[in-house]
Structure 1
Amino acid sequence: MAIKMLALDLDGTLLTSQRVIDPETAKYLAQVAKTGVKVVLTSGRPLSGVMPFEEELGLSGRGNYAIVFNGAVIQALDGHEMMSQNLDYHDFQAMKRVARLADVNTTFETTHGFYTYDRHLGVQQMLDAVFTRNTLDVLEKEAFPQDFTFNKAGFTCQRESDEIEKMWQALPEWVFDRYNVVRSYHHVIEIGPQGTSKGLAVSILAANLGLSENEVAVFGDQGNDLSMFENPNFYKVAMGNAIEAIKAQADYVTTDHDDHGVLKAVKKLVE
């Protein structure tokens, strides 16, 4: 069956280590999209952090989509939300307890901006805001309103630190029972609404577009992509730089993100 939808992770997959789409890949994906194949960027980022790359691919408007916040939100590229799942003030209180497990920075991510109560901002925390074109507002813990909602909480540390590993080992079972928890990188943990994942969001979007899961190809490299690779119906492409858990479930392992990995795999699929 022909592939009619490409679900592409961004960081470590479509983006090179310089956080850009190489021009040859961008040009080819734009051509593929014009044939009617849905090119869907699937990321832990918010839409604001995805849109610059959508524009590079010539994608815009209500007829094109992105999966953001690790699957908690599906948005058309005009901002319209097909699906959105949120966490509330009770969850905010729970995230504060989780953050005390290690010396980490905590960011609460929403579709309209990032928030934190950290008085000493971490480098990774600030970079995440910059790279996703977001504001990062610092509030006192008591200033978060009772009606505060967010799509995802992110916990980060310096890349050379072991604090996220310490936190990962200390996470109590109730966190995994109550939330979607992913180790995106060795220095990043992301927590979102229970039952949300990139894999489920891809399935929901495909169904809404009238596509079979067998017509979907997914691309990824890290822990927050695992849910896409657990679906037996998707055609699964692992990057050469992917973690072993991703490669083990892949139908095809391409070259790494600095060696035209996405381009080579897409050509294999659509030509």
Structure 2
Amino acid sequence: MEKGMNFMAIKMIGVDLDGTLLTSGNYISTETRKVLQEVSNQGIKVVLASGRPLSGVKEFADDLGLKGPDQYAVVFNGAVVQALDGKVLMSQEMDYQDFTTMLRMQRLSHANLHFETTECFWTLDRNLCVQMQINAAFTNNELRVRDKKEIPQDFTFNKVSFTCDRASDEVEKLWQALPDWAFQSYDIVRSLDNCIEINAIGASKGNGLMNLAERLKIRPKEVMIFGDQGNDMSMFNNPDFYKVAMGNAIEDIKARADYVTDDNDHNGVAKALKKLVL
């Protein structure tokens, strides 16, 4: 389904990173960069919405020319909304009780577990899977390995990730074993086959974008979003956002989309913006 779009109608564009804005090579294509810069120059807010922390978003914001206190990102799957200068506008955290709950969940499989904060990643695991190391490297994050006794009682964190290497089925085992109460107590998404991400209940990309839109006095119908995976579902469940699914998106995302564009390796974001907005 297509809807007529114009610059007067859309005032904010929320764009997922991995599998959406970024190619398989982890960069923004020349064409996509050019089109997003054109959109931004027209006064439309381009907001990167990612499961990554700000440290893993900044280089791509810089690549698009987005900088300063009046440009924003929705990070940690929506648990944190930040200005690109680092100022936190909204933060939803989990605490030490949640920390011990996550350790109990980990016993259901042999997946690695790490806790993400705006400063660094923390883990109690000594044998780190390659995927966890990749996650830390891709987000320019320090990964601190600690014993449980070294974690203070006032420890708080924004997101949890369970990971395993792509050849392993440990994340699948954990996904199948998670009890119903966990899904009622936390926001849990399967962002990749080998990654489960957990946030405080109510912390999601969709809610983060809504929070930011309200702050900027932008109506939900003036927001367009792009995504491809399970951690984008909250954006696609918003009845008012104009929803664009990538050609490489999972079927549940495509089913909720107003428009399906090309995949992330063939300028899907740029093609949709040129057709629907520019």
TM range (shorter): over 0.9
SS at match of 1:129: helix
Once residues 170 and 142 of structure 1 are traced to their aligned partners in structure 2, the CA distance between those partners, rounded to angstroms, is 27
Correspondent of 1:149 among 156, 159, 164: 156
1:40 maps to which residue?
47
2:119 maps to which residue?
112
SS at match of 2:171: helix
Instruction: Deviation per CA, 1:153-191: give whole Å up to 9, x if none.
Output: 100011121111110110011211111101101110001
Instruction: Deviation per CA, 1:111-159: give whole Å up to 9, x if none.
Output: 0000100010110000000000000010012211111110001000111
Q: Is the contact between residue 3 and residue 269 of structure 1 (CA under 8 Å) also seen in structure 2?
A: no
Once residues 269 and 201 of structure 1 are traced to their aligned partners in structure 2, the CA distance between those partners, rounded to angstroms, is 24
Once residues 57 and 31 of structure 1 are traced to their aligned partners in structure 2, the CA distance between those partners, rounded to angstroms, is 10
What CA RMSD, in Å, does the superposition of the two structures yield over aligned residues? Answer: 0.8
Once residues 275 and 122 of structure 2 are traced to their aligned partners in structure 1, the CA distance between those partners, rounded to angstroms, is 42
**Runs of 4+ residues deviating >4 angstroms:** none
Q: Does 1:250 align with 2:257?
A: yes
Could you tell which deviates more after superposition, 235-244 or 161-170? 161-170
Correspondent of 2:239 among 200, 216, 232: 232
Q: Give matches, 1:1-271, under 5 Å.
A: 2-271=9-278
TM-superposed deviation, 1:269: 2.3
SS at match of 1:259: coil
SS at match of 2:57: helix
Once residues 269 and 108 of structure 1 are traced to their aligned partners in structure 2, the CA distance between those partners, rounded to angstroms, is 39
> What is the TM-score of this pair, normalised by structure 1?
0.99
Which structure 1 residue ranges, 5 or more long, are not aligned? none
Look up the equivalent residue of 1:77 and give its one-letter code.
L
> What is the TM-score of this pair, normalised by structure 2?
0.96
Look up the equivalent residue of 1:163 and give its one-letter code.
E
Percent sequence identity is 60
Query: How many pairs does the alignment contain?
Result: 271
TM-superposed deviation, 1:31: 2.0
Once residues 276 and 215 of structure 2 are traced to their aligned partners in structure 1, the CA distance between those partners, rounded to angstroms, is 23
Which structure 2 residue ranges, 5 or more long, are not aligned? 1-7
SS at match of 1:180: strand
